[in-house]
Structure 1
Amino acid sequence: MKDVRVTHIGGPTTLIEVGGWRILTDPTFDPPGRRYSFGWGTSSRKQTGPALQPGEVGPVDVVLLSHDHHADNLDDRGRKLLAGVPVVITTAAGSRRVGGRGLRAWESTELTGADRPAIKVTATPCRHGPVLSEPIVGQVIGFALEWEGQEHGVLWITGDTVLYPAVREVPRRMTVDTVVLHLGAVRFPITGGLHYSLTADDAVELCELVRPRTIIPVHYEGWSHFSQGRAAVERAFAAAPDGLGERLHWLPLDQPAGA
C-alpha cells in the first residue's frame, strides 16, 4: 500500500493515516496502575500507559472500536475522546451504548469526505474466547479497510479474537496486504487454561492462511491478563516456514511507520 502510516500508541490503540484520513483504533489513554473488572470474575491491571495522550494525537476523523465493554479496548479517557470524533464504527450492540455506526460481521459502511478517497470498512468476525463464550464476553468485530488505488489488498485489523472457522474465512473472502494483529493469549485465573485472544502459534497459523506482506503486532503488552508477549510471538514466527517471521514489523511506540 502507498502512503499509509500506522502509529502504535499502546495496547490495541493505533493511528492509521491514509489519503488525508486519520483513523484511530480502540482508544485507550488511561494511566497505568488501575485494575479493571471485565465481568464474571475476571479482571486485569493496566501496567503501562499510552505513548501519546489524546491531545498529542491530533484530530481524529474516525474511531474503529472493536468492542466497547472491555477497558483494555475502551477506557475512561478513550470514552471522552469519542465525544469529539465525527464517526465511530463499532459492533451493533456497542452502537446502542456509545453511538455511532453499528456493524455485524461482513456488513460494510463507507467513509466519504471532500478531497479524500472513499474508504470501505467491512466488519470481520471475532470470537473473544472459547466456544459458546459470546453471551459472556459480548460482541467483538475486526475491520477490513479498502479504497481505490490499493495495490496488493486490504488493511485488516483483526480485533480481539481466537482462531476459529469464521476468522479463517477472511483470507477466503479478501486479499490482505497488511494485518494489524491483536495478540496476547489472554487468560484469567478463574477460567484456567482457556484463551480469549490469539496465541502466538494460532497467529502463525492465521498468517499462513492470510499471507500478508506486512504483519503489525499489537495488544500483546501493558496488561496483566496477557500470557504471551513479544518474545513468544517472535519465537513462533521464527519457526514458521517460508520466512513468515520476516514480515513482522514491531512498531516503536508513538513513531509512525509506513505499511
Structure 2
Amino acid sequence: MITITHIDTACVLIDIAGYKILTDPTLDAPGKLYYHGSGGFSRKTSVPAAAVSAADIDLVLLSHHQHKDNFDREGRKLAEQVPLVLSTRAAAKTLPNAKGLQPWETFSIEDQHLKITATPAQHHPWWVPEFLAGEVIGFVIESPLLSQGALYISGDTVYFKGLREIGQRFKIDIGIFHVGAVQFRYLTGWGKYTLNSRDLLKTIHELNPARVIPVHFSGWTHFKEKEPVLRKSLQQDAAVWEKTIFPEPGIAISL
C-alpha cells in the first residue's frame, strides 16, 4: 500500500508500506512575512492540513533548505529530529543528520528496498545566476512496490532541458510537480522560479508519468498562478487531465 497526503505547499507525506517519507516540510502557521534571501520576501497564507510528528517520520526529502516556503521554522525543527534527511550538498552543511546528494547520485535504504536518486532542477530564470536562488534537486524513488514505475518529485524548478533526461533514465509512474509560477516581480520582473501550467504540460509530455499530482500552487503571496488557472490549463489537454489528481489537503490518496 502506498499513500500520498498533501500537508502544505510542497510538503507531502508519502507512506510506502509503513515507511514514512516527508517532503519539503513547511509546517508554520500562516500570517508571517518571511525573507527568502537575495531580496525576496513573501507572506504565508495557508494552514498545514495535518499535524506531523518527527517520531512518525523515517526520512525527509528536502529539495533545498534556503527558502522558507519549502523549509520553514517548524519544518526545520522536525527535520532535525528525524533519522535521516536527503538534500543538497549545501543543505547537508547546515543539518547534522543530512546527506547531501548531487544530481544523479543515488542513496539506497536497504532494509526498505528503496533507491532514491537526486535529479536536476533549475530554480531560477535562465538569465539569473544559480547562486542567487541556490542549489536545488528533485528526487526519484524506486521500490518493488512501485511496480509500474518510479515516483518522481520535481522540487522547485522551471522547465529546462535537464528535465528531459529524467524521462530518458526512468519510467515514471507517479509525478509530484511543484508549480505556482513563483515570481518576485519587484526584483526580476516576470521571470519564473517554478513551473507554470504551460511548462508543467511540457514537462508531463517529456516525462510521460502515468499519474500527475500538482502541489506548491497556493499558500504564499509569491505564487502567481492560482489553482483555477492551473486547472483550466490542464483541462485543455484531455490526456493529461485524465491522469491528474489534485490532492485534497490532509486526505490520503491511495495508489
TM-score range, shorter chain: over 0.9
**Distance (Å, rounded) in 2 between the aligned partners of 1:229 and 1:32:** 18
4+ runs of 1 displaced by more than 6 Å?
Answer: none
Q: Indicate the residue corresponding to 1:205 in structure 2.
A: 202
Q: Indicate the residue corresponding to 1:223 in structure 2.
A: 220
8 Å contact 1:22–1:61 — kept in the other structure? yes
Is 2:231 the partner of 1:249?
A: no
Specify which of 61, 67, 70 is matched with residue 70 of structure 1: 67
8 Å contact 1:68–1:98 — kept in the other structure? no
Structure 1 length-normalised TM: 0.94
Amino acid aligned to 2:250: D
How much does 1:11 deviate?
Answer: 0.3
Is 2:118 the partner of 1:123?
A: yes
How much does 1:28 deviate?
Answer: 0.7
The C-alpha deviation readout for 1:161-196, integer Å capped at 9, x for no partner, is 000011121101111000011000000122111000
Alpha-carbon spacing, 1:80–1:212, altered in 2? closer, same or farther (3 Å): same
Q: Which moved more, 1:141-150 or 1:24-33?
A: 141-150
8 Å contact 1:121–1:145 — kept in the other structure? yes
**Distance (Å, rounded) in 2 between the aligned partners of 1:54 and 1:17:** 13
Is 2:141 the partner of 1:155?
A: no
Specify which of 125, 128, 135 is matched with residue 139 of structure 1: 135
* Percent identity (aligned): 36
Amino acid aligned to 1:127: Q
Specify which of 180, 184, 189 is matched with residue 180 of structure 2: 184
**Distance (Å, rounded) in 1 between the aligned partners of 2:234 and 2:206:** 14
**Distance (Å, rounded) in 2 between the aligned partners of 1:211 and 1:188:** 30
Q: Indicate the residue corresponding to 2:58 in structure 1.
A: 61
The C-alpha deviation readout for 1:123-159, integer Å capped at 9, x for no partner, is 0101101124311100000000001243211000000
Q: Indicate the residue corresponding to 1:51 in structure 2.
A: 49
Q: Indicate the residue corresponding to 2:82 in structure 1.
A: 85
**Distance (Å, rounded) in 2 between the aligned partners of 1:133 and 1:102:** 21
**Distance (Å, rounded) in 1 between the aligned partners of 2:59 and 2:41:** 29
**Distance (Å, rounded) in 1 between the aligned partners of 2:145 and 2:229:** 36
Is 2:101 the partner of 1:98?
A: no
**Distance (Å, rounded) in 2 between the aligned partners of 1:58 and 1:168:** 37
8 Å contact 1:187–1:194 — kept in the other structure? yes
- The alignment partner of 1:94 has SS state of helix
Structure 2 length-normalised TM: 0.95
Amino acid aligned to 1:159: G
- The alignment partner of 1:203 has SS state of helix
Q: Indicate the residue corresponding to 2:106 in structure 1.
A: 108
The C-alpha deviation readout for 1:189-219, integer Å capped at 9, x for no partner, is 2211100000100000110121211101100
Q: Indicate the residue corresponding to 1:8 in structure 2.
A: 6
Q: CA RMSD in A?
A: 1.3
**Distance (Å, rounded) in 2 between the aligned partners of 1:16 and 1:139:** 24
Specify which of 169, 174, 177 is matched with residue 173 of structure 1: 169
How many residue pairs end up in the alignment? 252
